[in-house]
Amino acid sequence: MAKQLASAPKPKRFHLKPAHWGIIFLLPALVHMLIFKFHPLFNAFYMSFHEWDLLNPPTWIGLDNYVRLFNDARFHNSLSVSLRYALSTTACLTVLGLGLGLMFNKATRGIAVLRAAYFVPSIMSTVVIAIIWRFIFHPSFGLQTFFTEPLGYFNVRWLTNSRLALPALVIVGVWRHLGYYSLIYLAGFQAIPEEQYEAAKIDGARPYQSLLYITLPLLRPTFLFVAIVSVINSFQSFAPAQLMTDGGPAGSTLVLPLFLYRTAIQNLHMGYGTAIAVIMFLVLMTITLIQLKLFGMGSGQ
């Protein structure tokens, strides 16, 4: 009997492969993304084909919202304003962030304090920043008078002039995010092997040649990250335009998020508002794909 028990086959234990364990650990995050990311995205796309005022059940109207959207002069203006704001802000952050990152990369005394000082605006409340800059741009006693009056410009009305209001918002956006992106560039600089520069120096390369042929090519992933993230953040900018100019004067700062807020929340045109949100998503996706193509990331380079 004992021999029979000893020779009896042992029950097989259930073993999971490492790939299965990976799926199990990823499952909570995937469920979270499905519920809070993809479901709202697809639901917004579905609701963009309805007329809905939050008070009555949604009514299917097909492509009417999109037809109305592309014939709406206010939407065309808001899209143009958002594109100009995003491209201007991204261009300034790319160039100034690169220069500031180069400065931060130098091992000088007190550089850590300087890095922290430049980073502080990026963690400040957007509302607080908008209120502060409203006072700075005040035509009579704002801080900007210390720079404009010596040049012969008095009572410059930045926020009530249709030509200056959008550049004022660009200045605010660049001031807020410059420290953050400069640290991104700093991380990119520090990831470049020092041997590259030493070899170039031995070959007789000058500093500007090292910058052109070593630093900038190896910073291509950093450029891509800064370009994509800054465009997305700029397109989502809402509080400065609302609190500083309220979309004016004459719609010169009516960015798409503010136009969407007025349409969907204030006027309760939720179906039309979700159509605006879908177009924003498609525009951002198109810009991102163009950036990937320009930086050569879409072809495996």
Helix (H, G, I), strand (E, B) or coil at 50: strand
Would you state the pLDDT for residue 15? 67
Q: What percent of the chain has pLDDT over 70?
A: 92
The tokens describing 175, both together, are: 């001031």
Residue 6 has a pLDDT of 52
pLDDT in tens, 27-58: 899 899 888 888 888 998 999 999 998 888 99
In sequence order, the 6+-apart residues with CB closer than 8 A to the CB of 287 are 231
What is the predicted pLDDT for the residue at 10?
57
Is residue 60 a contact partner of residue 48, using CB atoms and an 8 Å limit?
no
pLDDT in tens, 107-121: 778 788 888 888 999
Residues 165 and 241: beta-carbon distance below 8 Å? no
H or E segment and range at residue 189: helix 165-190
The dotted CATH code for 59-294 is 1.10.3720.10
Residue spans per domain, the chain = 59-294
Predicted TM-score (pTM) of the model is 0.86
pLDDT (mean) for 251-274 = 93
Rounded to whole angstroms, the Cα distance separating 258 from 245 reads 11
**Gap between the Cα atoms of 178 and 183, Å rounded:** 9
